[in-house]
């Protein structure tokens, strides 16, 4: 493996040229300005993995039909996608919390406090260790923490935990209290995958990197069952796409969102954003004419979004 070292902006361009990345649409000078002021090299070039390399040509491992402008376009699309996905995840988190609190409120066997203690005992840990950071002076929830941490009710617990902690609690709640409940069973299966999307979007990690490459991930039966509803997607395409773990996780988020969000206004707004994103993807469609894998992936998600919007 060759030694890695920091590149100057000129060296970044030269390195891309050795990989046969072209600068016919965006010039080399313009590309340097983009790398200086709009995006950074590592993130922008991560999208090149959606393009094929040629290993039977000299030099080996060069890209075919890849313009720097294509990477810039994918980065812009990915940014808009992440904004939509993080909002969807926030909407979903809120909707699930509302449902859990409704169920606990209606459950005469629950006092709202013991369930928190029982859950923490399964880890095992104390309230202070689990959410102790909430008591720091920098935390917006310090007053909430100071008032309730010695005897923590579920409705405060929900406001204090991270999304990862919340996912683990939902899994516990399903296994302990709702063994035959389809609502929580689907969440038990899907939330760990949706967390991947949520974390990536929240940390501005590229979602579309490797989105078109063949995968080897093990798909969930739930994702397959969801896609069976989309009659315009055949079995072979369904099985192939779900092997890509990014595609798989996005499929779960889209279907769970449509099913679990009860606000029609919220869903209408989200699907309006998704359709706007689809239109944005087509703005420079000539960039992708020779990338059949990306076209196939776009068509796959377009069919899902149309199907869910029509339900």
Contact 249, 196 (CB under 8 A): yes
At 22 the three-state DSSP class reads: strand
Share of the chain above pLDDT 90, in %: 75
Structure tokens at 17: 């040229």
> pLDDT for 224-283, tens place per residue?
999 999 999 999 999 999 999 999 999 999 999 999 999 999 999 999 999 999 999 999
Residues of the chain with pLDDT under 70: 1-2, 55-60, 132-138, 178-180
Structure tokens at 184: 């929580």
pTM for the full predicted model: 0.92
Task: Using alpha carbons, list the distances in angstroms from residue 206 to 258, 283, 308.
Answer: 24, 20, 25
């Amino acid at each position: 493996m060759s030694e890695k070292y920091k590149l100057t902006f000129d060296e970044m361009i030269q390195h891309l040229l050795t990989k046969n990345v072209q600068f016919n649409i965006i010039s080399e000078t313009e590309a340097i300005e983009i790398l200086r002021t709009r995006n950074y090299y590592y993130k922008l070039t991560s999208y090149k993995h959606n393009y094929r390399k040629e290993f039977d040509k000299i030099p080996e491992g060069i890209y075919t039909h890849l313009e720097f402008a294509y990477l810039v376009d994918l980065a812009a699309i990915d940014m808009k996608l992440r904004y939509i996905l993080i909002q969807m995840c926030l909407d979903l988190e809120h909707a699930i919390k509302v449902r859990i609190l409704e169920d606990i409120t209606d459950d005469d066997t629950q006092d709202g406090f013991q369930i928190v203690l029982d859950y923490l005992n399964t880890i095992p840990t104390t309230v202070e260790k689990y959410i102790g950071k909430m008591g720091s002076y920098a935390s917006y929830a310090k007053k909430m923490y100071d008032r309730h941490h010695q005897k923590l009710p579920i409705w405060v617990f929900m406001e204090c935990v991270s999304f990862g902690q919340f996912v683990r609690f939902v899994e516990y709640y399903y296994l302990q209290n709702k063994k035959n409940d389809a609502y929580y069973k689907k969440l038990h299966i899907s939330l760990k995958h949706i967390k991947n999307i949520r974390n990536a979007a929240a940390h501005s990690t590229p979602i579309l990197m490797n989105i078109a490459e063949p995968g080897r991930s093990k798909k969930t039966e739930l994702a397959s069952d969801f896609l069976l509803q989309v009659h315009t997607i055949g079995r072979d395409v369904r099985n192939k796409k779900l092997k890509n773990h990014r595609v798989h996780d996005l499929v779960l988020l889209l279907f769970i969102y449509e099913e679990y969000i009860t606000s029609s206004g919220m869903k209408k707004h989200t699907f309006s954003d998704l359709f706007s994103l689809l239109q944005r993807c087509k703005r420079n469609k000539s960039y992708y004419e020779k990338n059949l894998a990306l076209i196939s992936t776009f068509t796959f998600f377009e069919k899902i979004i149309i199907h869910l919007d029509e339900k």
